[in-house]
Copies of this chain bind each other. A is one copy, B any other.
Amino acid sequence: MEKKARVLIDCDDEKGLVYKISKVFYDRDLNIDSNREFVDKEEGKFFMRSVVIGAFEVNELKQALQEITPKNAHLKVIVPRRKKIVILATKESHALGDILIRHEAGELDADIEAVIANHDVLEQLVRRFDIPFFYVPTEGLTREEHEEHMAMVIDAQEFDYIVLAKYMRILTSSFVSRYPKQIINIHHSFLPAFIGANPYKQAHERGVKIIGATAHFVTDDLDEGPIIAQDVIPVNHRLEWRDMQRAGRDVEKIVLSRALNFVLNDRVFVHGNKTIVF
């Protein structure tokens, strides 16, 4: 029976890879629906994402690819299925709301399993959409204890990715390392400018003429994970920092949703501190 797979290959570059890989597809009579490659020449790395259609057996296909690629190759043969996400939020609704509306419209390739927040102000909005909302208060808890509570609620869900939709608490290394390459954040700044707290105030004080937002995977280093998407808007002297913040929200939500879409469609490779987005 015909089916579709997204084949993701990430390995050391060597001569003949495209030929050998496409031969595997050809030998199985698979149709290539789309195909993109990239070679990072500085690092000698090969990246390829093919969408193939045909009658194949996932493990057999994967093994065939393994045989013709270098030993350290990362190979994925993904039969597209609806993914699941968990959203972490705090008080602001613009990024969360944008995802909720897309979800409602059937335009998000994922189910929202739960929204988990360290404040309760977003509860009503989330409940309007019949999505489970969990309030994990911070009072009386150390950062580590609160994260432990968060993790308990998170781990009780089934999920592929954790989306920080303006979750305004800094995460510890130990929390982050539980979910490697699974946490996507929207940083309210054009990274690497204005790392840290209140970037709009920083941007205003610096007198910049453009502000932006950055969606990235979260790694140990705060604000330093691999960037998935960025965008900007022009500003001028007439905006106070709260106006910048307001203007910035539109960029934030669009950039986060765009990045999330890339990730849900398996279009993102993470390589060191960078991404390749096909």
Contact = CB atoms under 8 A, between A and B. Distances in A.
Nearest to A34: B39
A37 B18 CA distance: 12
On chain A, which size bracket covers the interface? 35 or more
A93 B104 contact: yes
A206 B190 CA distance: 12
Contacts of A257: 250
A125 interface: yes
Contacts of A101: 93-94, 97-98, 100-101, 125
A277 interface: yes
A26 B209 CA distance: 33
Nearest to A273: B207
B22 A18 contact: yes
Copies per complex of this chain: 4
B35 A26 contact: no
A158 interface: no
Interface string A12-34: 00011011101101100101111
A237 interface: yes
A210 B190 contact: yes
Given A35-B37, A94-B101, A105-B94, A190 B193 contact: yes
A88 interface: no
Contact of A107 (B41, B42, B246): B246
A212 interface: yes
Contacts of A25: 18-19
Nearest to A254: B250
Contact of A129 (B16, B20, B128, B258): B128
Contacts of A128: 104, 128-129
A135 interface: no
A209 to B, nearest CB: 4
Given A26-B19, A98-B101, A128-B129, A209 B192 contact: no
A38 interface: yes
A248 interface: no
A179 to B, nearest CB: 20
Contacts of A15: 26, 29, 31-32
Interface of A: 15-16, 18-20, 22-23, 25-26, 29, 31-42, 92-94, 97-98, 100-102, 104-105, 107, 125, 128-129, 190-194, 205-210, 212, 226-232, 234, 236-238, 240, 246, 250, 254, 257-258, 273-277
Given A40-B237, A94-B101, 11 more contacts: A18-B25, A18-B32, A19-B25, A41-B240, A97-B104, A98-B101, A190-B193, A205-B273, A207-B273, A207-B275, A209-B228
